[in-house]
Amino acid sequence: MYTTLILKSLVSLLLLISVPALGIYAYQNNISGFRDSLHYSVCDTPIYYSIGEVDPKFNLKEEALLKDIKQAAQTWNKEYGKDIFVHDSRGELDIHFIYDKKQELTETINKLEGKLNVGQQNLEKEIQAYETSVKSFEQKLETFNAEVKKWNDQGGAPPQEYEKLKKQEEELQSEGSSLNTLAEKLNIQAKNYNAQVGSLNSTINTFNEELSQKPEEGVYISGIHKIEIYFVPSNKEMIHTLAHEFGHSLGITHTEEDHKSIMYPYTSETVVLAKEDREALSQICEPRPIWSDYLSRLKVILEQFQSGLPS
């Protein structure tokens, strides 16, 4: 058993030593492009992505969605000058859109706000019409009272004028009663409107609580090479989130300074790389010598070799 393990380790060790030795020979003999072959960049091998599960409640059309994802990928591709992210229906990086409570609450808030805007406009129109009617009624009442006072000052109105004033009084009483009924109706409408405002505020509070517990609009899960998007408040914000998670899939961590950075921990509608993003990409994509890989592998083989020796 020890002989087999030692033999395998020696073969691997010889291979690791022979490759660099061949490299030195080639370099000394001026083989064209050999210097470049001694370095590699993680960005030189494209990451192929595909669209996975898309919850129909998002109401996202596949063609438009793919266009948005490509725009997010192009954010990094354009800066690097090569395609780092490429769409492929069999790509290993799956992008899923999973409908969660934040999205549901957002749509509820949008519906309530739309309903309230219409309700507010209608209520304001009715209140304005009511106030105009009240003003007209008050002017009529003032004219009527002045006419009654005039005749009272003269000791009373003749029968014909008296009947006329009596009729005006009945009309004013009817109009006043109608205005009181309208006022009650408007009060009910105002209460309903305020109740809807309360419902909206309650929903917003619930949304904020949900956001505090689960602030992510999306995540990159490195273990299974997967992006999950939970929340799409707007098209630009979705593209930003996709670009952000693409950055994580490359190994780029969060930036700290520029709030408009793609890799800033909090989302926005920014879809252009900031200075911090460009610097992080440059660092991730910087060519590295292949010797580092050889040395790591050599260390593992030596450890295996040593552990296989009899004590």
Q: What is the pLDDT of residues 113-126, one digit of tens each?
A: 777 788 788 888 88
Q: How much is the pLDDT for 38?
A: 64
CA separation for the pair 103, 110 (Å, rounded): 11
Q: How high is the pLDDT of residue 118?
A: 80
pLDDT at 111: 66
* pTM of the full structure: 0.58
Mean residue pLDDT of the chain comes to: 79
Between 297 and 22, the higher pLDDT residue = 297
Quick one: pLDDT at residue 278? Answer: 96
**What confidence tens digit (pLDDT) does each residue in 81-117 have?**
999 999 999 999 999 998 876 666 666 666 667 777 8
Residue 298 has pLDDT above 80, yes or no: no
**Alpha-carbon gap, residue 42 to 35, rounded angstroms:** 17
pLDDT band at residue 41 under the 50/70/90 scheme: confident
Task: Convert the pLDDT of each residue in 200-239 to its tens digit.
Answer: 787 777 666 655 545 468 889 988 899 999 888 889 999 9
The pLDDT tens digits for 143-166 are: 989 988 888 888 888 888 888 888
**Identity (one letter) of the amino acid at 1?**
M
Averaged over 124-133, what is the pLDDT? Answer: 89
